[in-house]
Structure 1
Amino acid sequence: MIEAAMIWNEPNNKSHWDPEVDPEWLRFSEMAIMAGDAIEAENPGVTRVLGGISPIDPLFVQRLRSHGVLDHIDAIAVHGFPLDWNLWQIHEWPAKLDEIRAETDLPIWVSEVGISTFGAEEVQLWGLKRTAELLIGKASRIQWYSLYDLPMAWGATTRHREAEGSSYYRHFYMGLLREDGSPKPAAEEFARHTPDVGLAQWFHFEDHRLEEAVRWMKRLGVTYVRTGLSWADSFRPNALDWFDRQMEALADFDVTLTFCFTPEHRGMMPHHTSAPLVPEEFADFCAAMIRRYAGSARVAADEPMRLPAA
């Protein structure tokens, strides 16, 4: 069920990686290379994907190539939100993919693309139709973000929060379903494009929406899903119980697992965006998760899994 492992999320976005700690992305590159090698050593059948870059920036790809990262992954992912956050128009999607193709022969995944209903639900409906026209057949994977609106009580993973004005509040309206679980007009349209288009849905720790999300994904015809397992969450009490529950619920889908978020006590700075003090610890976490949920070429798949020590 695990088809791919994604190494971090939006590494060129300061909401997910702190450039003040790692201005040249040298520490990120070291960590990504270690993680890619660890994933391959555990299970070479799992596709290793560079976490979706946002913004879509060929210069960032050049930088990582110069650091050797591209030799240790199997695909590159990009994220695009031209109707909400990006400074380009939706019809530029093919050109944006071509900018990355000019830098690498690796397959390109669109691991997050979405449109908020912040202004009007009709905007999302139109945008989904146009996105499908532009991307189906042009990218190895297309993962729509997201199934659910983000509950207003939770807060979005971003640096400046309310100081971002409407940009911040758009985070809460990206779902095909409203916070109460009722479908928006775009949900029916989305079902017309599955299984060519999958979903990206982040589940919070012990997320109450998990089982209902699975029912909705099956109803919509989804066959592949991108989600995440947080390195930071792995230090919570009963973390493995939650990880097991999440992965068991997603057993009927082809899953891309995103590994990210630095535990505060293991970062160079006490923040989930920080480069880790010891990059091998992130690689160990990736290997442990692959061993547990994808099986290992090195040990029996049913061998007890032990998380790296704190």
Structure 2
Amino acid sequence: MIEAAMIWNEPNNKSHWDPELDPDWSRFAEMAMLAADAITRENPHLTRVLGGISPIDPGFMSRMKNFGVLDHVDAVAVHGFPLDWNLWQIHQWPQKLDEIRTVTDLPIWVSEVGISTFGAEEVQVWGLDRTAELLLGQAPRIQWYSLYDLPMAWGATTRHREAEGSSYYRHFYMGLLREDGTPKPALDAFARHAPAMGLVQWFHYEDPRLDEAVAWMKRLGVTYLRTGLSWADSFRPNALDWFDRQMAALADFDVTLTFCFTPEHRGFMPHHTSPPLVPDEFARFCAAMIRRYAPAQASTPAMEPLPAG
């Protein structure tokens, strides 16, 4: 079921990692290598992917290479949103992949690519088809973000929220389905490119959309999916019950499981973007999740508690 473990999400984006607390990313590098090695000890056959970078920056990738991080992973990943946030045009996708290829020979996954319907729903249709034309066959995984629009009441995972103007509000219009679950025009376009193109769908803690999302993905012909398990959520009441339910619901898909989000009480600052006080605690969380949901030998996962932190 789980084909890959992704270590963090957008580590070079200050909405996901605080550069003021880790200006040279040395703390991130240490944490990532500890996590990668912990994952390997639990299941050496699982693909380890460095969290997708956004923006696509060969300089950041070179930094990770110099720290030795790329020696501990099997693939790297990039995220691109040229019609919404990036300062480059959609037809530059091949060039962006080539920029990362100058740094590493590792496979490059496009673990998030998407286009919002903030301006017009028709733009998403054109952009999805053009993205497929440019990227399918050029990377081992192309994962479209996302299935659902983000509910406005939930808020987006970003640093400056409404102060970002339209950039913030675009976060809420990235889905193929509207917040109420009704299809947008691009849903049919996506179906034409599945299963070659996969999906990204983040599920919030006890997300009520889980079962409906599974039904939609099967209807669309999706075979591979990227989602996440939050280290921060692991400290919520009944966290393992929710994690178990989520992973059981996704059992029919090849899942890339992203591990990220620092618990407030375990960071240098009380924020999910903070480096952890003890980086090995994140590694132990990753190991526990692999042991539970992707053990090296097929067996019934042991119902063990989460590691203390």
Q: CA deviation at 1:212?
A: 0.2
Q: How does 1:171-250 map to 2 (within 5 A)?
A: 171-250=171-250
Kept in 1, the 8 Å contact 2:247–2:293? The answer is yes
Q: How does 1:237-276 map to 2 (within 5 A)?
A: 237-276=237-276
Kept in 1, the 8 Å contact 2:268–2:274? The answer is yes
Q: Matches of 1:90 and 1:103 in 2, distance apart?
A: 22
1:11 maps to which residue?
Answer: 11
Q: CA deviation at 1:308?
A: 1.0
Q: Matches of 1:275 and 1:251 in 2, distance apart?
A: 31
Q: State the AA in 1 paired with 2:242.
A: W
Q: State the AA in 2 paired with 1:171.
A: H
Query: What CA deviation, in whole Å up to 9, does each residue of 1:144-192 have, x standing for no partner?
Result: 0000000010000000000000000000000000000000000001000
- Structure 1 residues 254, 300: closer, same or farther in 2, change over 3 A? closer
1:112 maps to which residue?
Answer: 112
Kept in 2, the 8 Å contact 1:48–1:75? The answer is yes
Q: State the AA in 2 paired with 1:153.
A: A
Q: State the AA in 1 paired with 2:17.
A: W
1:306 maps to which residue?
Answer: 305
Secondary structure in structure 2 of the residue aligned to 1:53: coil
- Structure 1 residues 184, 306: closer, same or farther in 2, change over 3 A? same
Query: What CA deviation, in whole Å up to 9, does each residue of 1:89-126 have, x standing for no partner?
Result: 00000000000011000000000000000000000000
Q: How does 1:1-310 map to 2 (within 5 A)?
A: 1-296=1-296, 301-310=300-309
Q: Matches of 2:134 and 2:302 in 1, distance apart?
A: 45
Q: State the AA in 1 paired with 2:61.
A: V
Kept in 1, the 8 Å contact 2:45–2:296? The answer is no
Q: Matches of 1:185 and 1:244 in 2, distance apart?
A: 33
Secondary structure in structure 1 of the residue aligned to 2:117: coil
Kept in 1, the 8 Å contact 2:7–2:48? The answer is yes
Kept in 2, the 8 Å contact 1:19–1:25? The answer is yes
Query: What CA deviation, in whole Å up to 9, does each residue of 1:239-286 have, x standing for no partner?
Result: 000000000000000000000000000001110000000000000000
- TM-score norm. by structure 2 comes to 0.99
Q: CA deviation at 1:301?
A: 4.9
Secondary structure in structure 2 of the residue aligned to 1:192: helix
Q: Matches of 2:270 and 2:301 in 1, distance apart?
A: 35
Identity fraction in percent: 81
Kept in 2, the 8 Å contact 1:233–1:239? The answer is yes
Q: CA deviation at 1:305?
A: 2.4
Q: State the AA in 1 paired with 2:305.
A: R
Q: Matches of 2:104 and 2:228 in 1, distance apart?
A: 26
Q: State the AA in 2 paired with 1:194.
A: A
- TM-score norm. by structure 1 comes to 0.98
- For structure 2, list consecutive stretches of 5 or more residues without a partner in the other structure: none
Q: State the AA in 1 paired with 2:101.
A: R
- For structure 1, list consecutive stretches of 5 or more residues without a partner in the other structure: none
Q: CA deviation at 1:304?
A: 3.1
Q: How many residues align?
A: 309
Kept in 2, the 8 Å contact 1:291–1:301? The answer is no
Q: Matches of 1:301 and 1:76 in 2, distance apart?
A: 30
Secondary structure in structure 1 of the residue aligned to 2:280: helix
Q: Matches of 2:302 and 2:6 in 1, distance apart?
A: 24
Kept in 2, the 8 Å contact 1:291–1:305? The answer is no
Q: Matches of 1:115 and 1:13 in 2, distance apart?
A: 18
Q: State the AA in 2 paired with 1:88.
A: W
Q: Matches of 2:148 and 2:185 in 1, distance apart?
A: 13
Secondary structure in structure 2 of the residue aligned to 1:70: helix
Secondary structure in structure 1 of the residue aligned to 2:96: helix
Q: CA deviation at 1:70?
A: 0.3
Q: CA deviation at 1:45?
A: 1.3
Secondary structure in structure 2 of the residue aligned to 1:138: coil
Q: State the AA in 2 paired with 1:306.
A: P
